[in-house]
Amino acid sequence: MLQKIHTIFPKSSVERVYAAILSRRRREVNSLSEKDSQIVDTLRHEGTCITSLNDLSFPANSRLLDATNRILTKTKSENGKTFPLRVGKRQIVTEYPEIFLWGLEERLLCIIESYFGYPAAFLGVSHRVEVPDGQQTGTRLWHLDGEDHCMIRVIVYLTDVGIEGGPFEYIPRSIRPTQAPLHRLYCQIFDQEKFDRIYRKISDADMQNMVPSKYWIPCTGVQGTVVFTDTANVFHRGKVPQPNHPARSALFFTYTSRHPKRLKLSKQVFPEELLLLMADRFTQRQRECVLAWR
């Protein structure tokens, strides 16, 4: 009977391509090392996994470190204090392309696509420097990211980050079912009418009423610490960096599906004209991750 149905309604070329993609993803999932599989499992249970460049041992690590070491030599002075200089996206492409290409490392893509279960889009990378001013504004407030239903940010610390130095902080996925107020907020935040009102506007006091601070997990670590996190599904923020502590310097690599929920917002992560400057350096798979979905 099933054969007759397929004879009457043969698979379209799109279905055949999709089936081939799923088959490739299954092979990649099965081929993950035990260490890489542990990252995927931790993401699924907790929403965040902390590791390091040393533990990942990607072939591209040495080139990334060469680039970031050059970045760390650039500083600026403000109010008598010295801070790392933030590197813009055009500079990343023209002066430090190794940083962007690290985000397309083959094993890294396999980890992310194994977590997603479908092909990933690489939206780009940004360099962020958190000045220790003690102010809770912007992404230092609790929020969910809105580019897609499921997304990954890979954060690489370029400096040591202590508890008062502005570490990435999150609420584990595992506690969500037991926290009714937080569960309702998860539901509300994906309501289009309420999204703008709630997005990036959850103070510590409001979050404390829903989830006690003992459940908030700060991701502290030394230079080279790497944080994998699904920022669309775990509440998170940059913990407020306190005065008299070194500024946090970090790279943020962003991944979504190739059909992100908010396409315009996703495209704004990295300008397409800059991506085209690097197009001749991409493999076919990397081109699909970076350009094809646009």
Q: Return contacts of 97-101, CB within 8 angstroms, 24+ apart.
A: 97/278, 97/281, 98/60, 98/63, 98/64, 98/66, 98/67, 99/64, 99/67, 99/68, 99/125, 99/127, 99/251, 100/124, 100/125, 100/278, 101/60, 101/63, 101/278, 101/281
Which has the closest alpha carbon to 84: 45, 129, 124? 129
Q: What does the block give as tokens for 243?
A: 């005065």
Kindly report the pTM of this predicted structure. Answer: 0.85
Residues paired with residue 225 on neighbouring β-strands, in sequence order: 52
Q: pLDDT tens digits for 218-275? A: 999 999 999 999 999 999 999 988 888 888 899 999 999 999 999 999 999 999 999 9
The answer, yes or no, to whether residue 141 has pLDDT greater than 60, is yes
Average confidence (pLDDT) over 272-294: 96
Which has the closest alpha carbon to 108: 282, 286, 294, 288? 286
Residues paired with residue 124 on neighbouring β-strands, in sequence order: 254
The answer, yes or no, to whether residue 161 has pLDDT greater than 90, is yes
* Separation between Cα atoms, residue 21 and residue 147, nearest integer Å: 23
Write down the pLDDT at residue 209: 82
Rg (C-alpha) for the chain, rounded Å, is 20
pLDDT more than 90, % of the chain: 62
pLDDT more than 70, % of the chain: 79
Q: What does the block give as tokens for 136?
A: 């809770």
The answer, yes or no, to whether residue 22 has pLDDT greater than 90, is no
Write down the pLDDT at residue 174: 84
First to last CA, the chain: 40
Helix (H) / strand (E) element for 46: namely: helix 34-46
Identity of the highest mean pLDDT range in 110-114, 172-176, 185-189, 261-265:
110-114
Q: pLDDT tens digits for 184-206? A: 665 555 554 454 444 556 888 88
For 18-32, 128-142, 157-171, which range has the lowest pLDDT when averaged over its residues?
18-32
DSSP codes, 15-35: HHHHHHHHHHHHHHHHH--HH
For 120-129, 134-143, 163-172, which range has the lowest pLDDT when averaged over its residues?
134-143
Cβ–Cβ < 8 Å for 51, 224: no
The answer, yes or no, to whether residue 30 has pLDDT greater than 60, is no
Confidence of residue 181 (pLDDT cuts 50, 70, 90): low
Query: For residue 80, how many other CB atoms are within 10 A of its CB?
Result: 5
Q: What does the block give as tokens for 214?
A: 């003992």
Phi-psi label, residue 117: left if phi above 0, alpha if psi -120 to 50, beta otherwise:
left
Query: For residue 64, how many other CB atoms are within 10 A of its CB?
Result: 23
